A and B are shown apart, each in its own frame.
Chain A
Amino acid sequence: MTSTATRALVTPEAPSRRLRGTRRAHEGSRAEAVTAWTFLAPFLVLFALFTGIPAVFALSASLTDMTARDIRDPFGVNFTGFEAFFKIIGNPGFQSAFLNTVMFVVLCVPLSMGLGFALALMLNSAIRRLRTFFRAAAYVPVITNIVAAAVIWQYAFSITGPVNNSLGALGLPQPNWLGDPGWAITTVVMMGVWRTAGTCMILFLAGLQAVPEEIYEAASTDGAGRWRTLWSITLPLLRPTTLLVTVLQTVSFLNIFEEPYLLTKGGPLGSTKSIALWVYEQFGFGNISASMAGSVLLLLLVGIVAIVQFRMLRPKH
C-alpha cells in the first residue's frame, strides 16, 4: 500500500477517480449527508479555529501596525498596507535570516537526500541480512525529540565535550562547534541531516520497491552494468519519488526553526538565524505585524519553491 499512497500524494486525483466509478450505483441519501457533516464537524471546527482563522489573521495582521499591546483587542489596529513588508525586506536582520535559510536548504537538502538514497539503495539491493536493524538505526533520529537531541548535541559538541575529546586524542583540531559562526552552521546542518536522512531513506525505499524486478533482469540481459542500470533505469523510474522527497525536504528546511533555536539561539552573531526563527523573535519583541509579514513571505517562498520544483521534476512526455 505504501507505494500507491506515495503516488497518491503526487497525483491526488487518482483515488477519488476510482471512487467515483464505483459509487455510481449509489446516490447519496439525506441521511448520508447528515452523517457526513456530523462526522466531519470536529475536524472542521478545529480546522477553522486553528488553521483557517489564523491563516486569515496572519494575512490581515501583516497589513497593519499591530503590536503585542493589541493582542487582547486585535481590531483596534491601523491598516498600513504593505508597509510592514517593505520594512522587513529592507531590514538587515531579515535579509541575513533569508540568506541563512537559503544556505540551510542548499546544504541540508542534497546531503540528507544523498545519504537517504544511498541507504535505501544499499538496503534494497546490496544486502540480505540485518535490513530491519539498519533501517531502524537510520530512522531513530527522525522520531527523536528535538529538545532532547539539542541537549545531547550541546553537550557532545561543547568545546571540552566528548567530540573534541576524541578529536584531540586523534591529534585533530578541536573546533568551537557552537561558538564559531562557520562551525555553528556546520553543526546545525549536521543535525538537520542526521534528523531527516531517515525520512528520505524510507520514501526512497518505498519507491525502489515499486520498481518491477523484470526491468532489472531485462537490463542485465542486455548487458547493462550496475552503474549504468542505476543511472538509466532506476533514477528515471524514481522520478516521482525524487520529486516528492525534494519538495518535502526543501519545504521542511525553508521552515527550519527548532534546530537553530535550541542549538545556537540563532547565533553566534546571527549566523544560524533562519527566517522562522526571526519571525519567532519578532513575536517575542511584540512586533506582531513584522512577524506576520515575515511569515507571509515565508509562506510565499515555500509555495513558489514547491511549484517550481514540481514543474522541473515533472515527468517529461
Chain B
Amino acid sequence: MAHVSVRDLEVTFGNLKVLQNLNVDVEEGEFLVLLGPSGCGKSTLLNSIAGLLEIAGGQIWIAGDNVTWKEPKDRHIGMVFQSYALYPRMSVEGNLSFGLKTARVPKPEIQRRIKAAADLLQIQPLMKRRPFELSGGQRQRVAIGRALVRDVEVFLFDEPLSNLDAKLRTELRVELKKLHIQLGSTMIYVTHDQIEALTLADRIAVMHNGVIQQLASPKEIYRRPINRFVAGFVGSPAMNFIDAKIKKANGGVSAVVDDGSEVSLNGYAFGNAPNEGQSISLGIRPEQLSMKGMNGAPTVPVTVSLIDPMGADALLWGNLGKNMISVRIGPEDGYKIGETVRPGFDPASASIFDAESGARL
C-alpha cells in the first residue's frame, strides 16, 4: 500500500475549485516532486496533505492512517517552508525543540534528537543564535532540522530553496538528496524549478490548472512528455515546437512546415496513427538537433538569427518558417548570422503533439 495516498481530493476557495478529483499515491521512501507554474495548485495539494487547509472532499492517508480530519501534528509529517518560518524570538535550539516540547517529549530525549539533527546538518555551532543572526542557507538548514527532530514519516517541502541564491541553492539541493538517501524517508517536494525536480525526484508530478498532467520518472517526463504543456515546461532551454501538417506518402510519414520544407518522421513511434493533413506540433529539444551530419537523418533548414554563448556550450537561434528554433552547439562553432544551416535529428527521440488538443501522438 502506498505510504501517502491522496484520494479524490477536492479543494475550493470560495466558488473557485482549485483541485478536483485529484489522486496521487506516494510509495514509502519515495521522493516525489510536485512541479508546475505558480497557481497550478501544487502548494495547495501539499498544504492539504499537511492538514493546513480545509478540504472540500476526498481523503488523505498517511502511513496507513486515514488522516483526513486529523490535526497537522497527528499526521506524522514534518514541513519545511519557503520563507524558513523560523520562530524569530527563539534561539536555534528553541526552534528545534519547540515541537518536541509541545509533544511533551522527555528532556534527555529532546537533547539527543537535537544533537543528532545538528550533527547531520552541521549546525552545532549555531545552537544559541537567533534566526536573524543566521544566513539564508543556515536558516533553511535549521528549518530542515526542525522537521528532522520530530522523527516523522513524511517530509513536506514547500519550495524550500527558492529564497536562496543560485550557488547556495545548488549546494543545498545536493545535501537534500544525500539526506534523502541517508534517511530513506518519504519526501514530497513542491517547486517550480525544473532543475530541482529533475535532479531530486524519483517521480515528478507535473501540475497545471489543478490537474496532474503527468506523473512519471524524470527521465520519462523529459523524454516522453505526455502533452505539449509538460514538454514546454520541462527542459531548459525549452523544447522547440515546429508547427506542421502531416503528409503520408510511400508508406512513410512526414511533416510539412509552413515554409514548404518537408521533414521525414519515419522512425517515430506513433501512439495514435496520424491523419493526412492533421495539424501537429513537432517537438525537438535543442540538444537533439545536431549540426554534425547524422547518417540519413532528417534535417530541418534553419536561418541563423542569433548565437547565445552559455559557457560550456552555446545556443544557436534561428528561423524555420514562422517558428523560432534553438540548437545546442559547441562554444567555438562559428556560424554566421543569416546563413542557413541544416541540423539533423532522430525522429525516434522527438515528440509529436496534436496541435489542437496538445496530446502526444
Task: Tell me whether A and B are bound partners.
Answer: no
Which residues of A come within 8 Å of B, CB atoms? none
Which residues of B come within 8 Å of A, CB atoms? none
